[in-house]
Amino acid sequence: MDKIKKHTEAAEEVSSDKRDKLLITQVLEALARTIDAKDKYTNGHSERVAIYSRMIARKLGFSDDEQDDIYYMGLLHDIGKIGVPHDLISKTSGLTDEEYLIMKNHPIVGYDILSEISTMPELAMAARWHHEYYNGEGYPDGIAGEDIPFFVRIIAVADSYDAMASNRSYRQYLPQDVIRAEMLKNSGTQFDPKVVQAMIEIMDIDVKYSLHE
């Protein structure tokens, strides 16, 4: 009898763990939709970046738990956009130098928002460094190569892929071969070549080009 009770308790514990994980996932997805709701032209961007980041991570051999973590980082990478004025985010014409500087501050704002989450410091890192370049020419810190954590290099590729594979006010999502060429062109400069290689393999399997907005 005691044994049965023990098993039941263990099962309840597992299901409450599962429930907690599901709750975390759903709350973070809701937060991602909150970020994206600010800009009607990037609707669903954060969730797509999260999904693509997880696909790349799987391709690169990350464990299931690591894939989940990368998915969460993808969901929140642009949270700093909350701090960018709405009229600036939804502006369809080109930004002035001053506006561009405000826009470029969103990684720092995101970092500040997430830096208190001590259980997963990678969330704040992803927010801060997702616009860094592999060659050091990105922003805000200009860090390069292996100094950019691997998972952030994954998010950078997924982020750019989705920017090209989603509709904008002035254009439809780009053809798959154009994105493929752009990825390869920026491999080694903007992006880590290992991550680009994984993304290209994902695109090659996506023969019907279903990975777009």
What does the DSSP 8-state code read for residue 31?
H
CB of 131 to Fe ion, least distance (A): 6
CB of residue 103 vs Fe ion: minimum separation in angstroms? 9
CA distance 121 to 153: 16
CB closer to Fe ion, 131 vs 180: 131
Closest residue to Fe ion in the complex (CB):
78
Q: Which of 32, 166, 180, 170 is nearest to 93 (CA)?
A: 170
Whether residue 188 contacts residue 133, with contact meaning beta carbons closer than 8 Å, is answered with no
- Minimal distance, residue 81 CB to Fe ion, in Å: 7
145: region left, alpha or beta (phi > 0 left; psi from -120 to 50 alpha): left
Both tokens of 5, joined, read 């009770």
Nearer to Fe ion, 78 or 192 (CB): 78
Residue-wise DSSP of 144-191:
-GGGS-HHHHHHHHHHHHHHHSS-BTTBPPPPHHHHHHHHHHTBTTTB
In the bound state with Fe ion, the residue whose beta carbon lies nearer, of 69 and 162, is 162
Question: In the complex with Fe ion, which residue's Cβ is closer, 78 or 132?
Answer: 78
Least distance in Å: CB of 78 to Fe ion?
Answer: 5
Catalytically annotated residue among 5, 21, 81, 208: 81
Residues engaged in binding Fe ion (CB under 5 A):
78
Q: Is 59 one of the catalytic residues?
A: no
Give the residue numbers marked as catalytic: 81
